[in-house]
């Protein structure tokens, strides 16, 4: 998690995350490419707020362990190389484990439908399962 700014990462808006997270856009959506691909780095214990996507979001874990939870279901843990396909409209959150940082690739398809609908923060009780 050191020296991320020199690697092209920028801090994400703190109102949508508990803890520090950083984003590096790899492919920006435009009039030709209806997809956005980014690396997202989470410090240990960091997670994003509950949210939904108007189209699929695909996460690929690059470093650490990704905590992922859909509303009403238990937390799942994904290791390096594992993939999560989040269907449209599914309320969920994701973030790093309490023990180590985590980096995942986030692929947002059909960006013409929108990117993300942010909701309330994940409580410590929810995060700790």
Q: List 69's β-bridge partners, or say none.
A: 93
Q: What share of the chain is helix, strand, coil (3-state, %, to 5)?
A: 10, 45, 45
95-117 exposure pattern, b = at least 16 Cβ within 10 A, e = fewer: bbbeeebbbbbbbbbebeeeeee
How far is 54 from 125, CA to CA, in rounded Å?
Answer: 27
Q: Which residue has the tokens 């692929």?
A: 107
Verdict on whether the full-model pTM lies above 0.85 = yes
Structure token pair of residue 6? 């020199």
Q: Which residues of the chain have pLDDT under 50?
A: none
Q: How high does pLDDT run on average in the chain?
A: 95
């Amino acid at each position: 998690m050191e020296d991320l700014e020199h690697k092209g990462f920028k801090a994400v808006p703190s109102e949508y995350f508990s803890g520090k997270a950083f984003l590096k856009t790899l492919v920006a959506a435009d009039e030709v490419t209806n997809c956005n691909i980014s690396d997202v780095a989470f410090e240990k214990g960091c997670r994003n707020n509950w949210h939904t996507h108007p189209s699929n979001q695909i996460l690929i874990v690059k470093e650490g362990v990704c905590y992922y939870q859909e509303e009403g279901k238990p937390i799942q843990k994904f290791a390096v190389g594992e993939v999560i396909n989040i269907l449209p409209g599914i309320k969920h959150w994701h973030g790093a484990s309490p023990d180590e940082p985590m980096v995942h690739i986030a692929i947002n398809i059909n960006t013409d439908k929108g990117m993300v609908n942010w909701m309330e923060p994940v409580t410590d009780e929810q995060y700790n399962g």
